[in-house]
Chains A and B, each alone.
Chain A
Amino acid sequence: MASGWVGLVSTLHMLASGDDSEVFARSQRLLAFLTKLTKLPVTFLIGWLSAFQDFLLLAGRSFANLFQRPHYWDDVSIQMDIIGFGSLPIVILTGFFSGAIIALQMARALNTYGASSEVGAIVALTLVRELGPVLTALMVAGRNASGIASELGSMKVTEQIDAMRALGTDPLQKLVTPRLIAGAVMLPALTVIADAIGLVGAYLVAVPLLRIITAGEYWSTSWRALVVNDLAQGLIKPLIFGIIISLVGCFYGLKTTGGTQGVGKATTEAVVSASIWIFVVTFLIDKIFVNL
Chain B
Amino acid sequence: MAEEPVLALENVNLRFGEKWALKNVSLKLNPGETRIIFGEAGSGKTSLLKAVVGLIGVDQGKIELFGKDVSMTKQRELFALRSRAGFLFQEGGLFDSLTVGENVEYPLVNQVTASGQAAPPENPEEKVREALRFVELEHTIDQFPAELSGGMRRRVGIARATVTEPPLVLYDSPTAGLDPITANTIMALVAKERDVRNSASLIVTHRYQDGEIMADFQYDAEAQELVTMDTCKDERKRRRTKFMVMKGGEIVFFGTREELEKSSDSYVKRFVRKGDM
Contact = CB atoms under 8 A, between A and B. Distances in A.
B207 interface: no
Interface in A147-179: 155, 158-160, 162-170, 174
Interface in B96-121: 96, 106-107, 110-112, 115-117
A69 interface: yes
Contact of A170 (B84, B89, B107, B112): B112
A163 B112 contact: no
Interface range on chain B (Cβ under 8 Å from partner)? 20 to 34
B75 to A, nearest CB: 7
B67 interface: no
Interface string B18-54: 0000000000000000000000000000000010010
A168 B91 contact: no
A68 B74 CA distance: 14
Interface in B57-98: 75-76, 79-85, 87, 89-91, 93-96
Contact of A167 (B81, B96, B107): B107
Contacts of B117: 69-70
A74 B84 CA distance: 24
Given A158-B91, A159-B90, A159-B93, A169 B79 contact: yes
Given A166-B55, A167-B83, A174 B96 contact: no
Query: For B53, B79, B111, B117, which residue has the most chain A Cβ atoms within 10 angstroms?
Result: B79
Contact of B93 (A158, A170, A174): A158
B83 A162 contact: no
Contacts of A162: 50, 55, 89, 93
A169 B55 contact: no
Contacts, number: 68
A170 B78 CA distance: 10
A165 B82 contact: yes
A237 B144 CA distance: 40
Contacts of A167: 82-83, 87, 106-107, 110, 160
Nearest to B54: A165
Nearest to B93: A163
A163 B115 CA distance: 22
Given A167-B110, A168-B80, A168-B107, A160 B116 contact: no
B83 A168 contact: yes
Given A162-B55, A170-B75, A70 B116 contact: yes
Query: For B50, B81, B110, B111, which residue has the most chain A Cβ atoms within 10 angstroms?
Result: B110
Given A69-B117, A162-B55, A168 B112 contact: yes
A70 B93 CA distance: 23
A188 to B, nearest CB: 28
Given A166-B87, A170-B112, A158 B55 contact: no
Nearest to A162: B55
Contacts of A70: 110, 112, 116-117
Contact of B87 (A158, A160, A163): A163
Given A69-B117, A168-B79, A158 B111 contact: no
Contacts of B79: 165, 168-170
A70 B80 CA distance: 12
A174 B160 CA distance: 18
Contacts of B110: 70, 167-169, 174
Nearest to B115: A69
Contact of A158 (B50, B84, B96): B96
Contact of B91 (A69, A155, A159, A164): A159
Nearest to B82: A168
B55 A165 contact: yes
10 contacts: A159-B90, A160-B96, A164-B95, A165-B82, A166-B82, A166-B85, A167-B110, A168-B79, A168-B81, A168-B112
Interface of B: 50, 53, 55, 75-76, 79-85, 87, 89-91, 93-96, 106-107, 110-112, 115-117, 160
